[in-house]
C-alpha cells in the first residue's frame, strides 16, 4: 500500500509546476545598471536642463516676435450684413461690406490669410462626432446610422451631402483683398488650393466615383445652411470641388479652443506682390454669409507670415522659459540645502 509521500510525489510529477524556469531572465537575475546619484550629478542635471530650456525658450520667443501679422476685426464694421444674416429667411440675399486698412511697412516673404472666429465652441462633444467619415471617403453608406443626426436627411428622405453639424456650420464668408496703388485698385492674387494637409487631401477625403461630380452626388442635397451644393464649392476649379475642397477640409479639422483661426488663402507672389505685400492702403471686400451675433462671436481676418517655429504664438517659448527657470531655481534650492546639511554634519563631527 502506497504511503502519502509517494502519492504526493506522483501527483507533483504529473501536474506541471507553475514556478518559472530557473533562468536569468525569468528569475530576474540579468545584469542591471543601478546608478548611485551624488550631489554633483543631481545639480548638473538640474542646471543643464534649466539652461537648455531657457535658451530654447528665448529663441522661440524671438522667432515668434519676428512674425509680421496684422489682424482686422470686421464684426462691427459689417453690422448691417450681420443683422441681415440673423434672419434665416434672408439666406439667398447677398450682402457685401468693405474694410480699409493700411500697411505701414512691407510684409516680405510668403503671406498667409486666415479667418478667425471667437466664442465658437467646436470642441462640444456632440459637435465633434457629428460627421460620417465613411461618407467623406466617397462611400455609399447609410448616414442614418451615423452620428450626423439631426443633419442627416430632409423630411422627404433626401440625404444630406455632407451630413453632420460640422459640415452644416462651415464658414462661408468670401474675402478678397485689394491694393490701392496710385489711384488704381489692384486685386491681390490669392491661392485657394494647396492649403490643406496632404494626408487629408489624399487619404481622409475622397469624392464618390463617377464620370462627373454632379452625377456622383445625384440624389443628395446640400446641408440646410449652405448656399450651394458640395460639387459647386469652387466653380473655377473642378479639382477643388466636392469633399476634396480645401476650405471644406480645413473646416472639418475642428479646433480644441473656442477662439481659433483657420488658413483661408495664400498670397500668390507675382507682379507687384513678388516679394510679399508692399506698404500702402488695402481693402478687404467681404461677402458676408456667416452670422456670429447669436452666440456673441467675433470674426477676424489675419494677414501673417510664418517662421521655422510656426506663427506668432509665443506659448511654447514661454513654457520653455518657465520650465527652465523652475529647474534652475530648484537647483539653487538643492544646493542651499546640501551646503546647510554638510555644514551641520561637519559641526557634529567636530563635537
User: 123 and 52 share a domain?
Assistant: no
pTM of the model: 0.81
d(CA 46, CA 49): 5
User: 52 and 81 share a domain?
Assistant: no
User: 101 and 183 share a domain?
Assistant: yes
Q: Does the N-terminal peptide bond of residue 150 adopt cis geometry, omega within 30 degrees of 0? A: yes
Q: Does the N-terminal peptide bond of residue 162 adopt cis geometry, omega within 30 degrees of 0? A: yes
Instruction: Give, for all 351 residues of the chain, the pLDDT tens digit.
Output: 455 555 445 554 555 667 888 888 888 888 888 778 888 888 999 999 999 999 999 999 999 999 999 999 999 899 889 888 888 777 778 899 999 999 999 999 999 999 999 999 999 999 999 999 999 999 988 888 889 989 999 999 899 999 999 999 999 999 999 999 888 999 999 999 999 999 999 999 999 988 888 899 998 999 999 989 999 999 888 889 999 999 999 999 999 999 999 999 999 999 899 999 999 999 999 999 999 988 899 999 999 999 888 888 889 999 999 999 999 999 999 999 988 888 776 756 666
d(CA 237, CA 260): 28
Question: Which alpha helices (DSSP H) does 87-190 contain, by range?
Answer: 125-128, 133-136, 165-168
Q: Is position 248 within any domain?
A: yes
User: 52 and 200 share a domain?
Assistant: no
User: 117 and 218 share a domain?
Assistant: yes
CA dihedral 203, 201, 63, 56 (to 10 degrees): 0
User: 80 and 57 share a domain?
Assistant: no
Q: Is position 34 within any domain?
A: no
User: 285 and 216 share a domain?
Assistant: yes
Q: Is position 5 within any domain?
A: no
Domains contained in the chain, number: 2
d(CA 289, CA 82): 8
User: 265 and 316 share a domain?
Assistant: no
Range of the domain at 299: 71-305
Rg of the chain (C-alpha set)? 32
Q: Is position 8 within any domain?
A: no
Q: Is position 350 within any domain?
A: no
User: 255 and 318 share a domain?
Assistant: no
User: 267 and 217 share a domain?
Assistant: yes
User: 192 and 135 share a domain?
Assistant: yes
Q: Is position 14 within any domain?
A: no
Amino acid at each position: 500500500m502506497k504511503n502519502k509521500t509517494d502519492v504526493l510525489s506522483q501527483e507533483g510529477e504529473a501536474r506541471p509546476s507553475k514556478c518559472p524556469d530557473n533562468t536569468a531572465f525569468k528569475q530576474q537575475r540579468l545584469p542591471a545598471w543601478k546608478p548611485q546619484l551624488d550631489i554633483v550629478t543631481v545639480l548638473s542635471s538640474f542646471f543643464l536642463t534649466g539652461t537648455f530650456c531657457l535658451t530654447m525658450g528665448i529663441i522661440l520667443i524671438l522667432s515668434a516676435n519676428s512674425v509680421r501679422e496684422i489682424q482686422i476685426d470686421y464684426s462691427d464694421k459689417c453690422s448691417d450684413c450681420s443683422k441681415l444674416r440673423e434672419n434665416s429667411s434672408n439666406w439667398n440675399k447677398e450682402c457685401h461690406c468693405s474694410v480699409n486698412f493700411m500697411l505701414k511697412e512691407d510684409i516680405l516673404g510668403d503671406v498667409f490669410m486666415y479667418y478667425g472666429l471667437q466664442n465658437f465652441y467646436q470642441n462640444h462633444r456632440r459637435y465633434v462626432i457629428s460627421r460620417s467619415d465613411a461618407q467623406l471617403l466617397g462611400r455609399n453608406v447609410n448616414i442614418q446610422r451615423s452620428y450626423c443626426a439631426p443633419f442627416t436627411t430632409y423630411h422627404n428622405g433626401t440625404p444630406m451631402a455632407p451630413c453632420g453639424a460640422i459640415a452644416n456650420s462651415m464658414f462661408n464668408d468670401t474675402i478678397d483683398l485689394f491694393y490701392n496703388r496710385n489711384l488704381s485698385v489692384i486685386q491681390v492674387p490669392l491661392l485657394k488650393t494647396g492649403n490643406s494637409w496632404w494626408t487629408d487631401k489624399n487619404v481622409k477625403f475622397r469624392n464618390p466615383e463617377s464620370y462627373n461630380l454632379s452625377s456622383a452626388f445625384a440624389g443628395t442635397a446640400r446641408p440646410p445652411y449652405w448656399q450651394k451644393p458640395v460639387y459647386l464649392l469652387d466653380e473655377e476649379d473642378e479639382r477643388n470641388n466636392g469633399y476634396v475642397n480645401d476650405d471644406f477640409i480645413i473646416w472639418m479639422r475642428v479646433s480644441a479652443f473656442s477662439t481659433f483661426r483657420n488658413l483661408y488663402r495664400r498670397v500668390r507672389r507675382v507682379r507687384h506682390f513678388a516679394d510679399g505685400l508692399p506698404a500702402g492702403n488695402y481693402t478687404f471686400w467681404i461677402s458676408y454669409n456667416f452670422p456670429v451675433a447669436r452666440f456673441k462671436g467675433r470674426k477676424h481676418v489675419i494677414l501673417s507670415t510664418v517662421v521655422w517655429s510656426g506663427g506668432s504664438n509665443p506659448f511654447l517659448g514661454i513654457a520653455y522659459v518657465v520650465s527652465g527657470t523652475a529647474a534652475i531655481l530648484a537647483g539653487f534650492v538643492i544646493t542651499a540645502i546640501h551646503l546647510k546639511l554638510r555644514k551641520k554634519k561637519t559641526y557634529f563631527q567636530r563635537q
